[in-house]
């Protein structure tokens, strides 16, 4: 992997743009903000540009207010160039949206997804990392950056998010050893957990109610369950700021092994799919089959077509995945 190459490029840079993927999550935001604080500590000029709005769930993180949205070509063209752009947690260049068009020198692709397309000039893709935050910490360690409380708060958010609060199959002994280092830096883990969990708005609960009303257990394969939401149904209650972990509703059923959430786009021509599974079953290949990606047990994609077609084709592949367990 390219820890040394990435460290060398950042050390030589005077200006750096940090970015993450469209619809950023706790891993991309936390990893990006950790880099912002660390690189500024080294005297770099740093900007955090995001291709879409960041939900207020992460407003407690230090530096959140500095994240700027660059959502279209005009906004990208108006940005000053940077010596280095470092992308956090994006599996391919398209996931960077308009930010990919900002003028820059070297592009560092920092990620941990096995489906990453290696789109950077330097590809720091460590698939052994439980989160992109783990990869960031490894990079900063090689740059001799001390782990302070500010960095640890950002990095702790990444590990909580990407391990599903330490419930996903990527949680290992290393996860807890690494997390213990963050707690040793003085963070208030309980306060961060509350900020990530107990911040729902009434609209969020309305969406959860709608999800439960549209919950279905597969007639053919009872270990498969999911939620299918039409654009009209969502519009009737109002779209939430953050779709969060709604896919965990079907996953919470006793006996469930594979769960899905299908959300129809407003144009009626696309469907966003979030997929989850328990080992040894894998949903990553299903997401890849429709142009998406992620992890073996947590993945997503955008299906091109109507909602009925998406449900039919995706559930067929998920049933097949339940017949083909992977180690």
The per-type count for the chain, helices as H runs and strands as E runs, is 12, 12
The model's pLDDT over 72-107, given as tens digits with 9 standing for 90+, comes to 999 999 999 999 999 999 999 999 999 999 999 999
Say which residue, 74 or 115, is predicted with more confidence. Answer: 74
Beta bridge partners of 293: 300
The model's pLDDT over 281-296, given as tens digits with 9 standing for 90+, comes to 999 999 999 999 888 8
Chain centroid to CA 186: how far?
25
Global pTM reads 0.90
The C-alpha atoms of residue 16 and residue 87 are separated, in whole angstroms, by: 11
In Å, how far are 47, 125, 156, 187, 239 from 129, measured between CA atoms? 25, 9, 13, 21, 33
Residue 161 DSSP SS3? helix
The model's pLDDT over 266-282, given as tens digits with 9 standing for 90+, comes to 999 999 999 999 999 99
The model's pLDDT over 298-325, given as tens digits with 9 standing for 90+, comes to 999 999 999 999 999 999 999 999 998 8
Average pLDDT, the chain: 95
The C-alpha atoms of residue 82 and residue 314 are separated, in whole angstroms, by: 41
Instruction: For the chain, list the domains and their CATH numbers.
Output: 3-197 (3.90.1640.10), 202-322 (3.10.310.30)
Res. 244 pLDDT band, cuts 50 70 90: confident
Q: What is the mean pLDDT of residues 61-80?
A: 98
Q: What is the pLDDT of residue 289?
A: 96
The model's pLDDT over 191-233, given as tens digits with 9 standing for 90+, comes to 999 999 998 888 889 999 999 999 999 999 999 999 999 999 9
- Dihedral of the alpha carbons of 112, 116, 119, 123, in degrees to the nearest 10: 30
Res. 327 pLDDT band, cuts 50 70 90: low
The C-alpha atoms of residue 92 and residue 84 are separated, in whole angstroms, by: 17
The answer to whether residues 166 and 175 touch, using CB atoms and an 8 Å cutoff, is yes
Q: What is the pLDDT of residue 204?
A: 87
Q: What is the pLDDT of residue 1?
A: 61
Residue 49 DSSP SS3? strand
């Amino acid at each position: 992997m390219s820890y040394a190459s990435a460290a060398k490029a950042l050390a030589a840079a005077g200006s750096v743009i940090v970015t993450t993927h469209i619809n950023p999550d706790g891993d991309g935001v936390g990893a990006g903000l950790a880099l912002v604080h660390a690189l500024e500590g080294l005297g770099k000029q740093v900007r955090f540009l995001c291709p879409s709005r960041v939900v207020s769930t992460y407003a407690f993180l230090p530096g959140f207010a500095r994240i700027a949205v660059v959502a279209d070509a005009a906004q990208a063209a108006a940005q000053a160039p940077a010596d280095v752009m470092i992308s956090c947690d994006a599996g391919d260049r398209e996931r960077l949206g308009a930010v990919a068009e900002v003028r820059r020198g070297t592009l560092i692709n920092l990620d941990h997804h096995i489906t990453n397309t290696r789109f950077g000039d330097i590809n720091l893709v460590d698939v052994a990392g439980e989160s992109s935050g783990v990869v960031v910490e490894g990079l900063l360690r090689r740059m001799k950056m001390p782990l302070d409380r500010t960095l640890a708060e950002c990095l702790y958010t990444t590990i909580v998010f990407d391990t599903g609060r330490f419930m996903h199959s990527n949680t290992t002994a290393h996860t807890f050893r690494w997390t213990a280092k963050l707690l040793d830096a003085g963070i208030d883990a309980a306060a961060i957990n509350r900020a990530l969990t107990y911040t729902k708005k009434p609209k969020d609960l309305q969406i959860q109610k709608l999800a439960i009303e549209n919950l279905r257990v597969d007639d053919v394969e009872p270990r498969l369950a999911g939620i299918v939401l039409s654009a009209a149904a969502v519009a009737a209650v109002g779209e939430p700021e953050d779709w969060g972990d709604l896919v965990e509703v079907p996953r919470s059923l006793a006996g469930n092994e594979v769960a899905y959430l299908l959300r129809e786009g407003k144009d009626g021509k696309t469907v966003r799919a979030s997929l989850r599974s328990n080992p040894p079953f894998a949903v990553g290949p299903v997401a890849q089959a429709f142009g998406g990606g992620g992890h073996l047990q947590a993945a997503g994609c955008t299906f091109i077509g109507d909602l009925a077609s998406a449900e039919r084709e995706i559930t067929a592949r998920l049933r097949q995945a339940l017949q083909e367990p992977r180690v």
